[in-house]
């Protein structure tokens, strides 16, 4: 069983999305990522090798660790203990710089979703064999409802986990339920590297995860 949480937390004038997931026994990692407008601001990873192999008792212990790691990160954001560098939007030519809004007390605020997005969704990478040309990645992604209908207006994000400079790239599905995400491949780090594609917070859809080889490509599907 894989455990995980998705929460939105507001601190001052900014709202962050916090995602914690158990990456499965093949990795034995609890991974928490803090996003701001689709960009990764913080990542925290802890292993649970001491709990392997999992049985009924250790699965319960793993769930408690996932819950606790997620809770701690939320509390650190709410209390201002976790220092997050907020990307500043580019100033318009000739515009005067405005002082930043004061940071105040934070509160958890669930993100309301349209009813069409509360269904279980199915995520698919359409060009699994041709998504990478040189250093340019172009992902053709489709999102469908569990009944097979196309779903529009869904935010879709992609990132290369294990890269030297982690970054999240996003797009939104159109009327046909499809979205295109393009980005330049980053320098890959040591260890496990994977292409991860996921939908926005709150949508009922498991992320797609493809392990990348020395020459990055998605395994044949």
CATH code: domain of residue 72: 3.30.1450
Number of folded domains in the chain? 2
pLDDT at 40: 87
Indicate whether this model's pTM tops 0.85. no
Question: Judging by beta carbons within 10 Å of its beta carbon (0-12, 13-18, 19+), is residue 202 exposed, middle or buried?
Answer: middle
pLDDT at 108: 38
CATH code: domain of residue 143: 2.60.40.10
Q: Which of 49, 78, 107 is the last residue of a domain?
A: 78
Domain identity same for 189 and 128: yes
Residue 207, domain member (yes or no): yes
pLDDT at 203: 60
| CA distances from residue 158 to 26, 116, 171, 189 in whole angstroms, order as listed | 21, 22, 9, 17
- 111-128 pLDDT per residue, tens: 444 444 445 788 899 998
- 47-93 pLDDT per residue, tens: 999 999 999 999 999 999 999 999 999 999 999 898 888 877 655 55
Domain identity same for 73 and 156: no
Residue 100, domain member (yes or no): no
156-162 average pLDDT score: 87
Residue 102, domain member (yes or no): no
Domain identity same for 139 and 198: yes
Domain identity same for 198 and 150: yes
Residue 86, domain member (yes or no): no
Residue 120, domain member (yes or no): yes
pLDDT at position 162 over 60: yes
- 202-216 pLDDT per residue, tens: 566 778 888 885 444
Contact partners, residue 55, CB within 8 Å, separation at least 6: none
**CA pair distance 53, 50, nearest whole angstrom:** 8
Torsion of Cα atoms, 159 then 137 then 163 then 27, to 10°: 60
Boundaries of domain holding 125: 115-211
């Amino acid at each position: 069983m894989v455990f995980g949480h998705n929460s939105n937390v507001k601190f001052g004038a900014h709202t962050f999305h916090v995602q914690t997931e158990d990456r499965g026994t093949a990795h034995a990692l609890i991974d928490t990522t803090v996003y701001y407008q689709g960009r990764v601001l913080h990542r925290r990873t802890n292993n649970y090798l001491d709990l392997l192999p999992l049985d009924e008792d250790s699965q319960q212990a793993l769930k408690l660790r996932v819950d606790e790691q997620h809770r701690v990160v939320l509390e650190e954001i709410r209390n201002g203990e976790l220092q997050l560098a907020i990307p500043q939007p580019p100033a318009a030519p000739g515009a005067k710089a405005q002082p930043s809004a004061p940071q105040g007390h934070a509160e958890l605020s669930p993100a309301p979703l349209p009813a069409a997005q509360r269904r279980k969704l199915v995520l698919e990478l359409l060009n699994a064999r041709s998504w990478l040309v040189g250093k340019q990645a172009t992902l053709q992604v489709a999102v469908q409802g569990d009944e097979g209908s196309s779903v529009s207006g869904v935010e879709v994000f992609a990132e290369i986990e294990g890269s030297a400079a982690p970054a999240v790239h996003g797009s939104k599905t159109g009327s046909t339920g499809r979205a295109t995400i393009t980005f330049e491949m980053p320098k890959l780090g040591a260890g496990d590297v994977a292409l991860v594609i996921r939908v926005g917070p709150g949508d009922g859809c498991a992320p797609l995860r493809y392990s990348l080889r020395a020459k990055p490509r998605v395994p044949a599907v």
